[in-house]
Amino acid sequence: CDRSSFFKLCQSFMKTIKERDCILPCSFQAGQSLIIHWYHMTPTQTGVHSYYENKDQWGHQQKRFRGRTSLFQDQFSKGNASLQLTGVMVQDEGSYQCHTSTITNTRDLYINMKVYGTRNKPRKLDSNVEGNEERFQAELQISESVD
């Protein structure tokens, strides 16, 4: 079992909560009969996103992730199984598992996501406009298990 760790940062300035997004990276050795399962590990495996039989599968997706996840299907041939998670919130914090499988290879990647957020109170920009600014940051710790 080969294990490695490193940190990545998703960071951006947002105007609304719905615009927050983060890409959880996952790569695999491209091959036939691709299966991808993304899980949130709290305290059991919760379905985040699944892909098999050449299409997204929604049957096991946890309700709170509905409409917030996508894969980069045009990148599968390059071994990219990264997950785009939109509308990231503190409840999304925790451990994620990316399980990929092809005829010749199986791989599990584990990502720890820590979500930090600050939200400034609305401030007056001029006499007619009010605005607020949010800062979103997610720290990702990634470890790998290859079978």
Tell me how far apart the terminal alpha carbons of the chain are, to the nearest angstrom. 7
The stretches in the chain having pLDDT less than 50 are 1-9, 11-18, 120-134
Summarize pLDDT for 104-140 with one digit per residue, the tens: 999 999 888 887 665 544 444 443 434 444 455 566 6
Alpha-carbon gap, residue 136 to 115, rounded angstroms? 8
Is residue 128 within 8 Å of residue 113, measured between CB atoms?
A: no
Topology (CATH level 3) of domain 6-146: Immunoglobulin-like (2.60.40)
CB contact set of 112 (below 8 Å; sequence gap of 6+): 94, 95, 96, 140, 141, 142
pTM, full prediction: 0.74
- Provide the residue ranges of all domains of the chain, joining segments of one domain with +: 6-146
